[in-house]
Structure 1
């Protein structure tokens, strides 16, 4: 890949394929694979990533909202798409583009039933979400009998899956809690399916669940962060490949005298003669102010350079005093050489937040 000439997010599709095949290798042959491509495929490019995953053979996709699913359909995605957090206002578009809603409350169920009945649809696919302990979305144990009665013999809809979401699969200290979640899901889904005499797809495992609780694969698993190169475990991270590399360049070098300040609010003062570099990337691109004031480093010529002062909207300044570099040289913000996990940790956050926050104004380039 040629050196960057501007701020770009490189997306390596070979690394995506590697991660997909690695995660698939942890599954039984008959277990289906759902690829989570919400939030622009975790900050990369949902259309390009989804098309590659469809080519590789993923069985299902998941997005957060209907608008994301519509984008995928227009891009040529034909596999089923689960909408994890549908809103009633989007039901018309959801149905128009053959998207499949997660039904997580009686309010959403009633509104969706009204929509499909008004359109005189038969057996429209839905997914039932159970709350097993994350306490975010989903039906609870007390809702079970009422839910069965509402769904039973309703020909407008067809339950194609029942699922739940685990809260702490990456945390070995929470194994008992996770096992209790799995047990509760087993109980709720079994009673629900037996009461309706149906055999839908059942799924509960996320990326860390695939790696740590493989005995609970059921019929399908879901992976998001793992596809993009992060496994929430150092032992797993070395077997995955980050698909995205955020690169920029040095726009200008400055020689800073002792006691001079750099940037807004004079947040950095030099104690000695320093050389600084200004980069064309800032908090409008997803690198927030929390990364400034020498908390976080970037890579210049394979050497670490601290971000100094306050991050600006469109620029950051770094200290390159001990690095032999020039204007136009490439700078790595994160990627395989400097993982998003490492960078995010310096700002007391997680890789998910960093990679999904990269602005859409950053140009995407692709390595096929």
Structure 2
């Protein structure tokens, strides 16, 4: 007789992935404190928690930041904003990305703040509002050189002069986005800030009130203090990293995320043997090879093949062969005591060795933002408390 399947799920520990992202919330608090010390006292912080909190888990990150006094949060999509609202976040949630007409009822229902980047969206949004929902606060984005979303100077003046802003909508903040703030040459950033200030001056001459201005992303915060204005939008900085800048800064940051897995198998191979798909690596000596249960489906990029390093037994060892969808091979010949079940650090510290998102970004010809944001839902998140 065939046994019936249980109606109850197995204990959680029996199916958790061996690969875990450990989120150090005390490091998040440290970075926020360092930022507050760096900024002028009256400069507000709009914490960017888009892309699932840069891979850290947007809900826990946002709730932790709320405990630490943050009241404004930036997301890229309405879906991200709704997820925060449904998790109980009560602060202001600003949708920084594009908004489409069919999304507007949800935006209003969940009391999200749109960033208006064109006049058509402003008109569509106003039509969706009932009288008891007006005036509805919005941020307006102007394009000063990024050439993505944003109004031109002429369109900005026309929009704010229109009847929409005499009843349906109210300007909460005017913003722009810096395209080159991490460059060794500050000229284009200065140009953008001059363009932005010129628009602000023109609006004020017309008697248009602008309650708040913001332009600075993480690179702007670090490299261009004149871009801080009334509010800044830190993203990567909160998670413990700065963009690759041509100069050092005074900010003392701690990485918030570590990525670890377990050694799944070891095997002996001879010299001259090909490893993994397409045999792009051949052993130069008799070797011990370790197999890790992580691959590009977890967000561990294929470009790390034959380039990246991991830590095992307090030793830095190389990735060998092509990274697969679910598995990665490492050379553990120089770690003779390595055994199945041993912890392997892909991002973080083990003993005196460490690997940062900046290191991984260099190995895969990318940026720390992509490294962190790529860590997918296959990877468990484990949160260490604030204290």
| TM-score bracket for this pair, using the shorter chain length | over 0.9
Work out the CA distance in 1 between the residues paired with 2:109 and 2:209. Answer: 26
Q: For residue 42 of structure 1, what is the aligned residue in structure 2?
A: 54
Q: State yes or no: 1:116 paired with 2:133.
A: no
Other structure's SS at 1:204 match: strand
Q: State yes or no: 1:13 paired with 2:25.
A: yes
Report the Cα offset of residue 107 of structure 1. Answer: 2.4
Residue pair 1:286, 1:358 contacting (<8 A) in 2 also:
yes
Q: State yes or no: 1:258 paired with 2:275.
A: no
Residue pair 1:26, 1:210 contacting (<8 A) in 2 also:
no
Work out the CA distance in 1 between the residues paired with 2:70 and 2:201. Answer: 26
Q: For residue 69 of structure 1, what is the aligned residue in structure 2?
A: 81
TM-score for the superposition, normalised by structure 2: 0.89
1:346 equivalent among 359, 363, 376: 363
| 125-134 vs 188-197, which moves further | 188-197
Q: For residue 211 of structure 2, what is the aligned residue in structure 1?
A: 200
Other structure's SS at 2:133 match: coil
Report the Cα offset of residue 5 of structure 1. Answer: 8.2
Residue pair 2:35, 2:251 contacting (<8 A) in 1 also:
no
Residue pair 2:292, 2:327 contacting (<8 A) in 1 also:
yes
2:309 equivalent among 297, 311, 318: 297
Residue pair 2:136, 2:168 contacting (<8 A) in 1 also:
yes
Work out the CA distance in 1 between the residues paired with 2:237 and 2:316. Answer: 26
Residue pair 1:5, 1:328 contacting (<8 A) in 2 also:
no
Q: For residue 144 of structure 1, what is the aligned residue in structure 2?
A: 156
Distance 1:197-1:17 versus aligned 2 partners, 3 A rule: same
Work out the CA distance in 2 between the residues paired with 1:274 and 1:344. Answer: 27
Other structure's SS at 1:298 match: strand
Work out the CA distance in 1 between the residues paired with 2:322 and 2:251. Answer: 32
2:64 equivalent among 52, 55, 58: 52
Residue pair 2:268, 2:287 contacting (<8 A) in 1 also:
yes
Report the Cα offset of residue 238 of structure 1. Answer: 7.6
Residue pair 1:168, 1:178 contacting (<8 A) in 2 also:
yes
Report the Cα offset of residue 196 of structure 1. Answer: 5.1
Residue pair 1:5, 1:330 contacting (<8 A) in 2 also:
no
The one-character-per-residue Cα deviations of 1:82-107 (angstroms, maximum 9, x if unpaired) are 10112322111111111000000122
Structure 2: gaps spanning 5 or more residues: 1-15
Other structure's SS at 1:172 match: coil
The one-character-per-residue Cα deviations of 1:108-132 (angstroms, maximum 9, x if unpaired) are 2222122125x66311111100111
Work out the CA distance in 1 between the residues paired with 2:224 and 2:348. Answer: 28
Q: For residue 229 of structure 1, what is the aligned residue in structure 2?
A: 240
Q: State yes or no: 1:357 paired with 2:357.
A: no
Residue pair 1:281, 1:314 contacting (<8 A) in 2 also:
yes
Q: For residue 130 of structure 1, what is the aligned residue in structure 2?
A: 142
Residue pair 1:303, 1:323 contacting (<8 A) in 2 also:
yes
| 208-217 vs 14-23, which moves further | 208-217
Work out the CA distance in 2 between the residues paired with 1:216 and 1:310. Answer: 43
Work out the CA distance in 2 between the residues paired with 1:299 and 1:94. Answer: 45
Q: State yes or no: 1:89 paired with 2:102.
A: yes
Structure 1: gaps spanning 5 or more residues: none
The one-character-per-residue Cα deviations of 1:42-69 (angstroms, maximum 9, x if unpaired) are 0110000000111111131100001101
Work out the CA distance in 1 between the residues paired with 2:310 and 2:302. Answer: 15
Report the Cα offset of residue 237 of structure 1. Answer: 9.1
Aligned length in residues: 362
Q: For residue 274 of structure 1, what is the aligned residue in structure 2?
A: 287
TM-score for the superposition, normalised by structure 1: 0.94
Work out the CA distance in 2 between the residues paired with 1:140 and 1:335. Answer: 44
| 107-116 vs 55-64, which moves further | 107-116
| 159-168 vs 185-194, which moves further | 185-194
